[in-house]
Amino acid sequence: MSIENNYKAICYCLILLCFSSSSFAQRKPIAHFSVPTIRMPADTTIAHLKVFRDQVVDSISEKRPAMDTLFEERTSDGVPIRYYRHIFSNVCHDGECRPLNLTLYWNITGRYLGFLLSPREYLSKNDHEPFLEYEYRRLHHILTDSLSALSSISYTELTNEMSKEMDTDLDGITGATAKAVLPHIVSGAAYTTYQLWHYVYGKTQTEVKNLTIKSLTPSLVIQILKSTDISDQQWALNHIKDNMVWDEELINMVMPYISDGNYNFAEQALNAINAEALSNPSMQRGLLRRFITSNHSIKRLILNKFKEGPSLNPDVVSQLTTHLSTFGASITVEILDLFEEMAVVNDTTTKEVARLLINPNRFVSLGAYRYLSAIPTEDKSIKKQLRQFKRKFSKEIKQIEI
């Protein structure tokens, strides 16, 4: 980043900070923002005309889906940094409607970023009182929560009708607002909170993600992966494309996700690794290290991933062979399947597997037989053991050879 860009970024952050604490007068804009992935100033704005089917919101206001504009802000290098949409709507309750006029912002990964109310615009509650500063902060906090219970609460549940079903009492503060809903809304503004949350997590979010995907480059994926926001990281993992160069930096960034801590992260990180990446010995060795320390579920994912590579690295074969009988029957047999599928043939492995022919667990010995029968071997001792095994377990072999 150049000095000039650094300066611009600092100014931009200062403006944001200023906005975050500025709801003291209606003549000033009211803004609350979270940290975006790309902290650079906007250079250009692109308008995308879209049909927004804000299902929940439209069904409340009985509006048909309509054309609206989604704005995309980009850096001077053409990198998308955020999106926004002007919301002009009404919040109606008990036949009374109040206007809703503000701008909602999304990060490039679809994550909610913030909102902006123009000078003289404000949000109001059921009693027409304007929001106070702490209520704007609370609104921002609620909108940041993508997992809010508002996702599964229907519009009618905001009122006392649904409170019976939810087995809750009426709140007594906002009159009709169900008590169970209170923790999820700005007090006195259930409908405003609800509508805005559904705007944020409605169709616009999908549009935002789709637009970013269109301009996604390997360097942008890396930038998103470096985000401190966990949902951004997850988004990046899911969008690592085949055109990525799997250098040490990327391997080192992705590998820590393959652990017991979060199954989905491990699955997504492994999905991101393609066959070409697996031809890199560092990648295979890294996966092996993860295999040794992971739980059963992740171990299986890693073994499956190895099968996608062009061949199995000798170090990996050596390590798996050395520890073959220590993994428990199920994983041992899965390793034997991997060896068979990857056509692993070397004396050490063959001899180690041959030892398993006398394993008391027939599931394991049959797995060893299957592997040894599938590979070419000239070892007379092993051939003899195979013949003996075949005589002893002819019925069992017949069954697994279906």
Name residue, tokens 């549940």.
157
What character string, x for contact with other proteins (CB under 8 A) and - otherwise, covers 49-78?
Answer: ----x-------------------------
Nearest distance, CB of residue 115 and other proteins, angstroms: 23
What character string, x for contact with other proteins (CB under 8 A) and - otherwise, covers 253-282?
Answer: ---------xxxx-x---x-----------
Q: ∠ at Cα 197 (237, 16), nearest 5°?
A: 75
113: its two tokens: 């970023």
Amino acid (one-letter) located at 246: W
Q: Contact region for other proteins (CB under 8 A) — 15-23, 34-42, 73-81, 297-305?
A: 297-305
Nearest in space to 116 (alpha carbons), one of 104, 106, 107, 125: 104
Q: Which of 215, 252, 293, 295 binds other proteins (CB under 8 A)?
A: 295
The residue (of 360 and 376) whose beta carbon lies closer to other proteins is 360
202: its two tokens: 């409605």
Q: ∠ at Cα 174 (172, 179), nearest 5°?
A: 60
323-352 residues in contact with other proteins (CB under 8 A) are: 328-331, 333
What character string, x for contact with other proteins (CB under 8 A) and - otherwise, covers 216-235?
Answer: ------------------x-
Q: For residue 306, count other CB atoms closer than 10 A to its CB.
A: 22
At 372, is the secondary structure helix, strand, or coil? helix
139: its two tokens: 């609104």
Nearest distance, CB of residue 152 and other proteins, angstroms: 5
The residue (of 219 and 304) whose beta carbon lies closer to other proteins is 304
The residue (of 6 and 206) whose beta carbon lies closer to other proteins is 206
Q: Is 357 in the site for other proteins (CB under 8 A)?
A: no
Nearest distance, CB of residue 62 and other proteins, angstroms: 12
> What is the Cα–Cα distance from 21 to 289, expressed in whole angstroms?
48
DSSP β-ladder status, 44-52 and 66-74: antiparallel
Name 211's Cβ contacts closer than 8 Å, sequence gap at least 6. Answer: 48, 70, 72, 80, 83
Nearest distance, CB of residue 328 and other proteins, angstroms: 4
Question: Are 249 and 284 within 8 A, CB to CB?
Answer: no
Question: Are 19 and 32 within 8 A, CB to CB?
Answer: yes
DSSP β-ladder status, 112-117 and 80-93: unpaired
The residue (of 176 and 329) whose beta carbon lies closer to other proteins is 329
148-167 residues in contact with other proteins (CB under 8 A) are: 149, 151-152, 165
> What is the Cα–Cα distance from 369 to 347, expressed in whole angstroms?
16
Give me the torsion for CA of 256, 262, 268, 270, rounded to 10°.
50
Q: Contact region for other proteins (CB under 8 A) — 17-25, 147-155, 186-194, 207-215?
A: 147-155
> What is the Cα–Cα distance from 83 to 74, expressed in whole angstroms?
9
Q: Which residues pair with 31 in a beta bridge?
A: 116
The residue (of 27 and 164) whose beta carbon lies closer to other proteins is 164
Nearest distance, CB of residue 205 and other proteins, angstroms: 15
Q: Contact region for other proteins (CB under 8 A) — 42-50, 130-138, 207-215, 360-368?
A: 360-368
> What is the Cα–Cα distance from 10 to 42, expressed in whole angstroms?
13
Q: Which of 211, 221, 273, 301 binds other proteins (CB under 8 A)?
A: 301
Number of amino acids touching other proteins (CB under 8 A):
34
Q: Which of 226, 363, 388, 392 binds other proteins (CB under 8 A)?
A: 363
> What is the Cα–Cα distance from 36 to 315, expressed in whole angstroms?
42
What character string, x for contact with other proteins (CB under 8 A) and - otherwise, covers 91-130?
Answer: ----------------------------------------
Q: Which of 47, 49, 67, 402 binds other proteins (CB under 8 A)?
A: 402
Alpha carbons within 13 angstroms on the beta-carbon side of residue 98 total 18
Q: Roughly what angle, to the nearest 10 degrees, separates helices 296-306 and 281-293?
A: 160
Residues at the site binding other proteins, with contacts judged by CB under 8 A: 53, 147, 149, 151-152, 165, 234, 262-265, 267, 271, 295-297, 300-301, 304, 328-331, 333, 360-364, 366, 396, 399-400, 402
